[in-house]
A and B are shown apart, each in its own frame.
Chain A
Amino acid sequence: MLPTASPHASPHQHAAEPSAAKQGLEAGQATPPRRGPAPRVIPRLDIKAPNLVKGIHLEGLRVMGDPAEHAVRYYQEGADELLYVDIVASLYERNSLADLVERTAASIFVPLTVAGGIRSVDDIHRLLRAGADKVAINTAAIRRPELLTEASRVFGTQCVVLSVEAKRIGPGKWEAFTDNGRERTGRDVVEWIREGVDRGAGEILLTSVDAEGTRKGFDLALIDAIGRHVPVPVVASGGAGSATHVQQAFDHGADGVAVAALFHHKVLGPRSLKQSLATAGLPVVLA
């Protein structure tokens, strides 16, 4: 379960191996400096109502405090976007974050993505009305991929994020999981993401179950396999333990990076992280 248990799971190994070529990047197609959106730093708030919690590998939750308070602080500290995840929603089959969204949206003026237990167009409608800008869908999309199409037709693809919990099952191979990395789906992550984008997902929230909560770095091979191979933005989540880790995720093709423990434990804040990234040469937005 720990990332070091697998021979390919250490982030330092991923960084060292020329995995991009193996993963199918067209030879000679070096990525030119992109003129476009800035790399996004996104505080991720896992919520077990009414608390902000943080686990390891999405398990073993620890209460971190009031989510609204954290969210507003992260906005004020220069977060590019916020991600609220109701981590028990799938168990109870409902998302309980509409209240939190409504309360915080009046003082947070950056995009807000809500995840967890979203099963229908009506659920999405409710969350958008409360003030969310995007919704991220995992379990319901696995069960009924048509939901991605229906949602993107009604709300636009930009609103529909496909949330994928990826667990390494072999070298260069990941399986999509649901319910915080507990339930197998039998779906290959790369294939599933390709299908999800075809069906209307406008963004990918890519969580590495192996790296999540470890603060030992992102699963960079996973980001390599997805980031530059899909025509929609990819937000990498799980494993951020330092500014260097976050920088690596961007270097490997992430368009955004979700950060939880590092912020919740006040090791870094959004602004100090972005300042480090800017010093390292990344064109992040410093407000």
Chain B
Amino acid sequence: MSAPSAVPSVTVIDYGAGNLHSVQNALGHLGAQVRFATEGDAIMGADRLLLPGVGAFADGMAELRSRGFVDAVRAFAATGRPLMGICLGMQFLFEKSEEFGTHDGLSLLGGVVKKLPTAPGIKVPHVGWNRIRPRTERTEAEHGPAFPGGMLAGVSPGAAMYFVHSYAALPTRQDAVLAVADYGDAEVTAAVAQDNIMGCQFHPEKSGPVGLSIIENFLRMLPNAGIYRLEVECPALCRNQSAIRCILRDALSLDERLRPSYTVASLLWLPYPRHTRHP
């Protein structure tokens, strides 16, 4: 474990739906310290945040909203700490879903969630073990025989994961798509990652040892250093959520190649006294 603390801690969002037991069992098996958050205020101190989900998009978002999670998760994501969505939890990260009408998501990732295309011989929901692979455009020369690091580090293309879903995300940014699964003629978005925000459509907690290794990768992830440092060093500033969100929005909207250095630099130049309420 490369984490500074021997026991990685993770906060799991409990919005009253979904089967948290499976996720809890998997996290427990991996030795993580698990906290459950039933309202938005409870997540701001989390080291990493897991957003599970089973059920319908609109109901789930309504629950997230009523418990104050929508703004809280967005603010958490802006701190640069790792956020992972599973299944419906991944779909929440996008802008909209077309499941039973059109409903707004968390808009942390660009794109929409649409119904899987049906075709002869193709059964929907997409249930069962399906193989994941990088997108065709990503040639082997580009990333080698394995997935790039991050959430899928150590997972071989062709590994099978357990899927249960009828809707799938269509991300705007193709480079956010880490892995897809073939379903009929469709390429189903299987895993996404953009900076500290990631998700998988399959259930890693139900995908055997390889699935567990994906969760383990998430547990080893550390916060985006620059932003996290600011929060540690300037807690007073970080309590001013609207200020920090404006700054971060500006920083994060930059071209991603410039982003890391710009983010750190801009934060260090903030016109706030760094010593204020220093811990």
Contact = CB atoms under 8 A, between A and B. Distances in A.
Interface of A: 29, 31-32, 34-38, 40, 75, 78, 80, 105-107, 109-111, 128-131, 133, 155-159, 202-203, 228, 231-233, 255-256, 285, 287
Interface stretch (B20-28, B38-46, B134-142): B20-28
Given A32-B121, A37-B130, A233-B128, A129 B29 contact: no
Given A131-B22, A133-B19, A109 B207 contact: yes
Nearest to A106: B25
B128 A40 contact: yes
A38 B160 contact: yes
Contacts of B19: 128-129, 131, 133
Interface string B9-32: 000000000010110011011000
A287 B162 CA distance: 13
A107 B54 CA distance: 21
Contact of B126 (A32, A36, A228): A36
A230 B205 CA distance: 28
Given A109-B211, A203-B127, A156 B56 contact: yes
Contacts of B210: 287
Given A128-B19, A130-B21, A110 B208 contact: yes
B119 to A, nearest CB: 10
A109 B208 contact: yes
Interface residues of B, number: 41
Interface of B: 19, 21-22, 25-26, 28-29, 54-56, 120-131, 160, 162-166, 182-185, 203, 205-212
Given A38-B160, A109-B205, A158 B28 contact: no
A232 B123 contact: yes
User: Chain B binding site: helix, strand, loop or mixed by DSSP?
Assistant: mixed
B129 A255 contact: no
Nearest to A228: B121
Contacts of A40: 128-129
Contacts of B25: 105-107, 109, 131
Nearest to B88: A156
Which residue among A37, A78, A231, A232 has the maximum number of chain B CB atoms within 10 Å of its CB?
A37
B123 A287 contact: no
Nearest to B182: A35
Which residue among A32, A228, A285 has the maximum number of chain B CB atoms within 10 Å of its CB?
A285
Contact of A105 (B21, B121, B166): B21
B163 A37 contact: yes
A83 B210 CA distance: 21
A164 to B, nearest CB: 17
User: Chain A binding site: helix, strand, loop or mixed by DSSP?
Assistant: loop
A46 B122 CA distance: 31
Contacts of B205: 109
B128 A158 contact: no
A71 B29 CA distance: 17
A107 B162 contact: no
B24 to A, nearest CB: 9
A287 B210 CA distance: 8
A101 to B, nearest CB: 9
Contacts of B129: 37-38, 40, 80, 285
Nearest to B122: A36
A131 B19 CA distance: 7
Which residue among A29, A131, A133, A232 has the maximum number of chain B CB atoms within 10 Å of its CB?
A133
B125 A109 contact: no
Given A38-B160, A156-B56, A158-B164, A109 B128 contact: no
A54 B130 CA distance: 31
Given A110-B206, A233-B123, A285-B160, A256 B212 contact: no
Contacts of A29: 120
B29 A231 contact: no
A54 B22 CA distance: 28
Contacts of A34: 121-122, 184
Contacts of A159: 54
A233 B127 contact: yes
Contact of A109 (B120, B163, B209): B209
**Can you list the 4 inter-chain pairs with the closest CB atoms, starting with the nearest?**
A37-B128, A285-B160, A35-B182, A158-B164
Which residue among A29, A129, A156, A159 has the maximum number of chain B CB atoms within 10 Å of its CB?
A156
A105 B21 CA distance: 8
A40 B208 CA distance: 13
Contact of A36 (B29, B55, B130, B209): B130
A35 B183 contact: yes
Contacts of B164: 111, 133, 158
Given A128-B19, A156-B55, A228-B121, A106 B208 contact: no
A133 B128 contact: no
A106 B22 CA distance: 8
A255 B128 contact: yes
A35 B126 CA distance: 11
Which residue among A40, A111, A129 has the maximum number of chain B CB atoms within 10 Å of its CB?
A111
A86 B129 CA distance: 25
